[in-house]
Amino acid sequence: MRLTRTAAGPGGTAVHVQGRDFPTNRGGLCRKGWTAAEVLTVGDRLTRPLVRDDRGDLVPTTWGQALDVVASRLEGLQAEHGPEAIGVFGGGGLTNEKAYQLGKFARIALRTSRIDYNGRFCMSSAAAAGNRAFGVDRGLPFPVTDLDDASTVLLLGSNPAATMPPLLSHLQGVRERGGLIVVDPRRSQTAHLTEQGAGIHVAPTPGTDLPLLLGLTHLVLAQGWADTAYLEQRTDPGGLESLRRSVSAWWPQRVQQVTGVPVATLTQVAGRLAGGDGVYVITGRGVEQHVDGTDTVTAAINLALVLGLVGRAGSGYGTLTGQGNGQGGREHGQKADQLPGYRSISDPAAREHVAAVWGVEAADLPGPGLPAVELLSSIGRPAGVRGLLVHGSNVVVSAPDAGAVRAALATLELLVVSDVVLSETAALADVVLPVTQWAEEEGTMTSIEGRVLRRRAVVPPVGEARSDLDVIAELAHRLGAPGRWSTDPATVFDELARASAGGIADYSGLTHALLDSGVAAYWPCPAEAATDELVGVPRGGDVVIGTPRLFGESFPRPGGRARIVPVTARLREPLGQRDGELTLVTGRLLEHYQSGAQTRRVPELLAAQPRLVAELHPATASRLGLGEGDGVIISNARGTVRAHLALAPGMRLDTVFLPFHFGGEECANLLTEAVADPISGMPEFKRTLVTVGAADDAADDPRRTHDDSSAPVRQEILR
């Protein structure tokens, strides 16, 4: 029997969410999926454009007036301060078509390089590491069903039991074989799956994942477990010897001293990884969201290469993405340094190709822009951003040092937010534009496996909501932008396919019609991979086109070989319990998603997790004079967060955990620092020094769930 959820859509239309028998989820959905229909009709859904009036209030207006205001003020700011005075901030939940059109709009309508997106906070370290090692960035370079037959899975810094529960069905086999190895300083829901002989939980000191991986590689090499034939045939010459030198200082006893992981556990893990076929190394945000995130992922890749896993049938390396279109959203031009097809914006040939598709001169395209943290930090500075367009992101909650971000947004001369609800960021805007969401729009998404999937509209847009494609096209016309600006997703996808042709993420063999026929399409899928005959394949057919498995024969690098990149661990001072301070680790909950702007509006999800809860080990709480359910304040020089306490024996004694889904005084990112990996631009979300103490008066009561900025806006404004 399949479970079904129902929500009343506009005009009484019923929307049903039902699990589909699909290879990745096998008919299962998480709680967020089952309740997704309720977001379509939440009471404070944005239904009309809003403009801030002279009194500072957001008041309803017409689309024409709202877009005229935006276009006029964009032109004025650029006339006075130049094109780079305008920034664009996108989102990993946008469809491929919208992400593509947004990147195009920034480069040829606004003529600005200042564009990036919230995926910079999610996948950027894994992307940078994959690109320099393999020449390509795809979350899983193999179908997720390959994990079904795994004998060993090393899962680094990921908690899919809470973040993507349907994935667990693919880990059941490896648990039965005793081969699930979870690396996480916290005994997460996924770490609990290693109990009773199902695997190993490795709990390093926060921020020491890189030394841990260097130590595992040292053990593999020292024990003679490296696949030397694979390394000779499939990696660049000299890489192995350079790697051997770089890990020589990380003998097991030293790794234990730095990470806290016992030598016996290190040896057990290394032996299991070297034990045969069916071995996978998978990374997640926990090891990536650090200032050395790119090097940490690179170390994981090096370990996988030394073991001969990458591109070998039944084994491999991959990374788990976190957003709805986290893979596709970064392939077609939202990133500061990329053009469609995952091309570098600094590559002359790539610029020529894309400019020809857009009908402009390559010389007119701007160069690389600023990654997200730098883009937001530039607000208010000389030659910095003075106007910002935000599509599908809630930076006031999701960005590091969120208090500084909020203060910076208040200094903007123009803030325009396109969203489905009045998020904390939208509440600060000068203009708020109501846009469509998943069941109201056509388009495509790209899965973690590189599979391109169709999104189909099932209900009309609520109220006056319009697609981001409409918003972009209307503004492009008002600004006199060159090129074509279609609002039809299929037409935009066809242009995207042409722009991506020959790139790393080549979609040129795909169309909406082909995807509607039921083929399983994986990029790269060049034009020669698809034929007109495939359009007639019935839905549910077994036809696969494109490249479901990368690296089987070669890597898309010079010589077709992977590159081993030796990395060095910078020993940072342990944060520990010095002077009563703890290490803050942030993460996700089963019930909420990203900044919580949508899930906190679903009654069932909010009832399950209504407010911020801090997790502490009982011994740590006792030392601080705290008990279960107490109101607490977590603070550092950047801000103060209010929560209530849950005792969690699975926590390290030196660590406190906070989910990052809440706004106002419950926003975990008020505490995190706006420092970033120098290669990827990834912020340091997983290693922040804080103090924890009792909330000693009513003002500190954590049961005050949100401040006014996250409260539902008055209905009369929106209707």
Measured CA to CA, the distance from residue 548 to residue 540 in angstroms comes to 17
Is the sign of the CA dihedral 692, 694, 696, 697 positive or negative?
positive
Place of tokens 């995207």: 496
Q: Would 536 be classed as within a structural domain?
A: no
pTM of the entire predicted model? 0.92
* Maximum CA extent, the chain: 73
pLDDT of residue 698: 40
Supply the CATH number for residue 79's domain. Answer: 3.40.50.740
Q: Would 568 be classed as within a structural domain?
A: no
Residues 110 and 13 grouped into a single domain: no
Q: How confident is the model at residue 2 (pLDDT cuts 50, 70, 90)?
A: very low
Q: How confident is the model at residue 701 (pLDDT cuts 50, 70, 90)?
A: very low
Q: Would 349 be classed as within a structural domain?
A: yes
Helical H segments across 115-208, by residue range: 124-134, 160-163, 172-176, 189-192
Residues 100 and 85 grouped into a single domain: yes
In terms of residue numbers, what domain contains 188?
124-319
Q: Would 105 be classed as within a structural domain?
A: yes
Residues 286 and 355 grouped into a single domain: no
Residues 354 and 378 grouped into a single domain: yes
Q: What is the mean pLDDT of residues 594-601?
A: 82
Q: Give me Rg for the CA atoms of the chain.
A: 25
Q: How confident is the model at residue 51 (pLDDT cuts 50, 70, 90)?
A: very high
Residues 133 and 267 grouped into a single domain: yes
Q: Would 311 be classed as within a structural domain?
A: yes
Q: Would 150 be classed as within a structural domain?
A: yes
How many distinct structural domains can be found in the chain?
Answer: 4
CA atoms within 13 A on the CB side of 55: 3
Helical H segments across 307-339, by residue range: none
Q: What is the mean pLDDT of residues 13-42?
A: 79
Residues 362 and 300 grouped into a single domain: no
Give the pLDDT confidence of 135-182 residue by residue, as tens digits. 999 999 999 999 999 999 999 999 999 888 889 999 999 999 999 999
Residues 263 and 388 grouped into a single domain: no
On average, the pLDDT of the chain sits at 90
Residues 300 and 370 grouped into a single domain: no
pLDDT of residue 541: 53
Residues 106 and 137 grouped into a single domain: no
Give the pLDDT confidence of 446-482 residue by residue, as tens digits. 999 999 999 999 999 999 999 999 999 999 999 999 9
Q: How confident is the model at residue 273 (pLDDT cuts 50, 70, 90)?
A: very high
User: Residue 132 CB: number of other CB atoms within 10 A?
Assistant: 17
Measured CA to CA, the distance from residue 539 to residue 528 in angstroms comes to 21
**Percentage with pLDDT > 90 across the chain:** 78
pLDDT at 295 over 70: yes
Q: Helix (H) and strand (E) counts for the chain?
A: 25, 28
User: Residue 603 CB: number of other CB atoms within 10 A?
Assistant: 10
pLDDT at 4 over 80: no
Last residue of some domain: 293, 319, 345?
319
pLDDT of residue 13: 62
Q: How confident is the model at residue 24 (pLDDT cuts 50, 70, 90)?
A: confident
Pairing verdict, β 58-60 and 50-52: antiparallel
pLDDT at 539 over 70: no
Give the pLDDT confidence of 621-661 residue by residue, as tens digits. 999 999 999 999 999 999 999 999 999 999 999 999 999 88
Supply the CATH number for residue 599's domain. Answer: 2.40.40.20
* Residue in 99, 117, 115, 709 with CA at minimum distance from that of residue 426: 709
Measured CA to CA, the distance from residue 207 to residue 287 in angstroms comes to 8
Give the pLDDT confidence of 558-576 residue by residue, as tens digits. 999 999 999 999 876 655 5
Last residue of some domain: 280, 299, 319?
319
- Are 503 and 357 spatial neighbours (Cβ–Cβ below 8 Å)? no
Residues 671 and 605 grouped into a single domain: yes
Q: Would 520 be classed as within a structural domain?
A: no
